Amino acid sequence: MTFGAPAAGGLGAGRQAASAGTWQLGDRTVNRLGFGAMRLTANADGSPSDRDRAIRVLRQAVGSGVNHIDTAAFYFSPLRSANELINRALAPYPDDLVIATKVGPGRDPSGAWLPLATPAQLRGQVEENLRQLGRDHLDLVNLRIHGRKPIAELFGALAELRDAGLIRHLGVSNVQPWQLAEAQAVAPVVAVQNPYGLGYRRRYDPLLRTCAEQGIAFVPFFSIATTGREAGVVDAEHDEVRAVAAAHGVTAAQVRLAWALNRGPNVLVIPGTGNPDHLVENMAAGALRLSDEELARLETIHQAPGAE
């Protein structure tokens, strides 16, 4: 199955996402430049997204070489479900496509957040992702945690579902180093998905290095939006980022993605968008190479006092 049209920036269709290199995610090889589905379901003002455009963006992403998509059953708006958009756009799925999802949190039909799932409830969440995506197994399931709490029991429930054949690989999300170690004592962890970006959550620098040493993927989210989080980029951009972007004729968002990819060979970025033009820009960031001098300038931002 082939999606999309030739990509911008001098690389043909299917090659842009590969420009940043690959990573071995368990027994699957993925391009380090992936796609996050969170922004497919609603516009920045909260209104429902355009269904046809969201489907077009997904097909365009895969046509650009994306073979790692991050999603969740709790990514939905009153009229849109990210999982069902992915199913509609991409099924039957390409053989090399890895779809990663998250369980733990949940939302009721009104969109209100529910308490973190119990071990017994996790099976229902896994099965809901399977139903929405139209799959008989999930490639990667990340246990999403909120707060400093033991996770062995929850992770053990997912390990049982992996042993039953419903899940291929396991990861953790929004965790502290000790929670990663606790999960690893239960079952192998192939990915850690945490908030991280330039000047944002630098406390996870050691965790990123630990993951690299252990062959675990580190998947940052909010790497462009940073403190804007779900609302998107809201703060004025730093002068140094703008200067580096201007020197390359690219956007600040592309510089931030290139910086994240440079943090280690195990870093897999998952920028999300519902805008076809922004997708082209995000894909082009994989080929952006920052000089040592530029990386040093950006590091001063990352290490600046007061950076979150």
Contacts of 171 (CB under 8 A, 6+ apart): 100, 140, 141, 142, 143, 189, 190, 191, 192, 193, 217, 219
- CA distances (Å), origin 136, targets 130, 171, 187, 190, 218: 6, 19, 21, 20, 26
Is 204 a residue of the active site? Answer: no
Angstrom distance (rounded) from CA 194 to CA 206: 13
- 194 strand-pairing partners: 220
* Sign of the alpha-carbon dihedral angle for 10, 270, 170, 126: negative
Angstrom distance (rounded) from CA 229 to CA 76: 16
With CA atoms as reference, report the closest residue to 31 among 41, 22, 40, 42: 22
151 neighbors 158 (Cβ within 8 angstroms)? no
Catalytic residue among 75, 196, 200, 204: 75
41 neighbors 277 (Cβ within 8 angstroms)? no
205-214 helix and 177-184 helix, angle to the nearest 10 degrees: 20
SS (H, E, C) 7-62: CCCCCCCCCCHHHHCEEEECCEEEECECEECHHHCECCCCCECCHHHHHHHHHHHH
> Would you name the residues annotated as active-site residues?
75
